[in-house]
Amino acid sequence: MSWWFTKLIQQLNRMMYMAGGVALFILLYVWSVLSASKTVEVPLEARIPEHPLFSLAEHSVYRFSHDLVAQVDHDVLGYVFSTQEWYWLKGLSLISQCLLWGVVVIGLLALTSAPIRRYGFSMVLMAAVVLNSRVFDLDNQASIHPWWALFLIIMPMLAVYVDIKKQLPMRPGQRLALIAYASQTGSAKRLAEQLHETAQSLLDVRCVSQLTTQQLLSYQKVFFVVSTQGNGDAPDTAHSFLRDIKKQTKSNVDTEFSVLALGDRTYNTFCAFGHQLTDLLRQKGFKLALPTQEVDRMDVSAVDHWWQQICGRLGIVSDTVSMQYDTFTVVSNECLNPMQTHRHVHRIRLYCSGARYRAGDLLAVQADETNEPERLYSIASYEKDYVELLVRRHLRSDGHVGLVSGRLSAMESGDLVKASIREHEAFHLVDDVPLIMIGAGTGLAPFVGFLKQKQAWQSQTPSWLIFGEQYAQYDDYFSHDLKALKHSGVLTRMDSAWSRPDGDYVQTLLKRHQAEVRQWLAQGAHIYLCGSREGFGNEVCHTLQQILSDTYFETRLHTDLY
């Protein structure tokens, strides 16, 4: 109900300005025609001035051509201009015209900015009416009183000034509004950029990792789009920002804020970071403009509800928010472990012209059914326009096949998929350093991308892959590609842990090779961990915590656990 009401008011508001502008134009036009028709034609020797704003309406003007002296008749009133006065009038006429064209230019510029567009529109309109009228006409048949003309120009300018003052009470040097995002797997980033596009140039957009408290305070309003990671934690990109905010001591903070908290209701710590951020900012004196909006698995209706309130406050009209996806075409789909009874893994190759990404990024695939959240898959390639995925056909406990994984694994060449690339900043390669990649199951995917990116770099640093799966004879995915990468020298070491029947797990391998792991770290290696959180992720993290020093655990470990 309230959403429809807001929309209705916005539309009425928009239409009112348009209708008012058009009505005013028609009124002025009719008036100018009627007044012009009343003007009495007087046979004149010559006329002055040529284009004055302060036109001598309703006056008959004469100029004695030889000595440049002019006389104005108005019923009984007569006036003789001196030569000097005549030049003054000419000058004034020139200034008045420049002024009006200036108003037209400013008005046109104002049209590009949403909140003052309506005033830009009326400024251009008014200036055009005055320029078009007979005020400056060579025949001197002025139809608009000069003071009225001035009033018409000043009023919209005043309206712009008052409106800007009212809506944006800004301190000198203070900027209007910012969308600040903190994202782990790219969804908050993508959403923030999309919202920024709908608000045109009115707002800035920036990752919190590139934001200091000082910069934050320079904005009048800040809208945060943040996700929650791990177990109620902040995304990695938010850590330095949080440290900076905690140090802020300024007492009179003018900046208002609101938080859009992305999360997943299946976690006990639903949207925990969004709420933590709200509490912290309030403690530090920032003013809460709108209550924190929780978003369960990218539910766009919740996003839209929040965004429309913000647009209302900024005086802009925005279309309903919806996630934007690109169309990918299936090039091939191959089952990599057909001998497995279930747990089939598919290698799916997709094409989308212009698709660009870095190794470690994700592909968000739209679910066909409404209210179903999108699914994220690690990209297993490093190639322009092409994306490869490793998709496990998910069998639920009730025996049904997972909605998106089932649809993807049944796809044939030429089928279309709606998807979008999500930047996974915390899981990109950090320069060309030695790599230890630890993955289980489809968690192998990003490492294929890493190795191909290293190959493209002609990397000289070593790479070690530790991979865990069930059966050596069925689940040795990508063995062909991995052999080629080993042959080319990019993959320098590979260890596999087969849980059946060997009972070998990745964490067992890590413990066995812990001395070498430490040696690699001493040589600058970074560790990347990818796979399911339950079981694999938690176990491996626990083992790494035992093997590594705290500093290495915090600074050298990158995780993509789902």
Q: Which residues bind ligand FMN (CB under 6 A)?
A: 183-188, 227-232, 235, 262-264, 267, 269-272, 298, 533, 561-562
CB 275 within 8 A of CB 267: no
Nearest approach, Cβ of residue 266 and ligand FMN (Å): 8
Between 114 and 272, name the residue whose CB sits nearer to ligand FMN.
Answer: 272
Between 235 and 462, name the residue whose CB sits nearer to ligand FMN.
Answer: 235
Q: How far is CA 475 from CA 380, 486, 557, in A?
A: 16, 18, 26
Nearest approach, Cβ of residue 301 and ligand FMN (Å): 15
Between 164 and 242, name the residue whose CB sits nearer to ligand FMN.
Answer: 242
CA distance 358 to 348: 18
Nearest approach, Cβ of residue 561 and ligand FMN (Å): 5
At 47, is the secondary structure helix, strand, or coil? coil
Between 28 and 192, name the residue whose CB sits nearer to ligand FMN.
Answer: 192
Between 312 and 402, name the residue whose CB sits nearer to ligand FMN.
Answer: 402
Nearest approach, Cβ of residue 158 and ligand FMN (Å): 44
User: Which amino acid would we find at residue 271?
Assistant: C
Q: What pairs with residue 56 in β-bridges?
A: none
> How far from chain centre, in Å, is Cα 294?
19
Nearest approach, Cβ of residue 198 and ligand FMN (Å): 18
Nearest approach, Cβ of residue 211 and ligand FMN (Å): 16
Between 256 and 361, name the residue whose CB sits nearer to ligand FMN.
Answer: 361
Nearest approach, Cβ of residue 283 and ligand FMN (Å): 22
CB 517 within 8 A of CB 549: no
Task: Give the helix/strand (H/E) hosting 342.
Answer: none
What does DSSP assign to residue 536?
I
Q: Which residues of 444-472 are buried (b: 16+ CB within 10 A; e: fewer)?
A: bbbbbbbbbbbbeeebebbbbbbbbbbbe
Contacts made by residues 294-298, CB under 8 angstroms, sequence distance 24+: 294/261, 294/263, 294/270, 295/260, 295/261, 295/262, 295/263, 295/271, 296/263, 296/264, 296/265, 296/270, 297/263, 297/264, 297/265, 297/373, 298/187, 298/191, 298/262, 298/323, 298/373, 298/374
Between 234 and 316, name the residue whose CB sits nearer to ligand FMN.
Answer: 234
Between 186 and 446, name the residue whose CB sits nearer to ligand FMN.
Answer: 186
Nearest approach, Cβ of residue 273 and ligand FMN (Å): 8
CA distance 277 to 237: 14
Between 188 and 380, name the residue whose CB sits nearer to ligand FMN.
Answer: 188
CA distance 547 to 518: 8
Give the torsion sign (CA, 290, 291, 297, 301).
negative
Question: What would the two tokens of residue 107 be?
Answer: 């008005």
Q: Is 171 exposed, middle or buried, given 0-12, 13-18 or 19+ CB atoms closer than 10 A?
A: exposed
Nearest approach, Cβ of residue 253 and ligand FMN (Å): 27
Size (the chain), residues? 562
Give the torsion sign (CA, 207, 213, 219, 220).
positive
Nearest approach, Cβ of residue 185 and ligand FMN (Å): 3
End-to-end CA distance of the chain: 38
Nearest approach, Cβ of residue 173 and ligand FMN (Å): 31
Q: Is 225 exposed, middle or buried, given 0-12, 13-18 or 19+ CB atoms closer than 10 A?
A: buried
CA distance 56 to 26: 24
CB 286 within 8 A of CB 245: no
Between 263 and 439, name the residue whose CB sits nearer to ligand FMN.
Answer: 263
Q: Are β-strands 375-378 and 362-365 bridged in parallel, bridged antiparallel, or unpaired?
A: antiparallel
Whose CB is nearest to ligand FMN?
263
Nearest approach, Cβ of residue 210 and ligand FMN (Å): 16
What does DSSP assign to residue 374?
P
Between 298 and 485, name the residue whose CB sits nearer to ligand FMN.
Answer: 298
Nearest approach, Cβ of residue 263 and ligand FMN (Å): 2
Residue 314's φ and ψ, nearest 5 degrees, are -90, -5
Between 264 and 504, name the residue whose CB sits nearer to ligand FMN.
Answer: 264
Between 240 and 508, name the residue whose CB sits nearer to ligand FMN.
Answer: 240
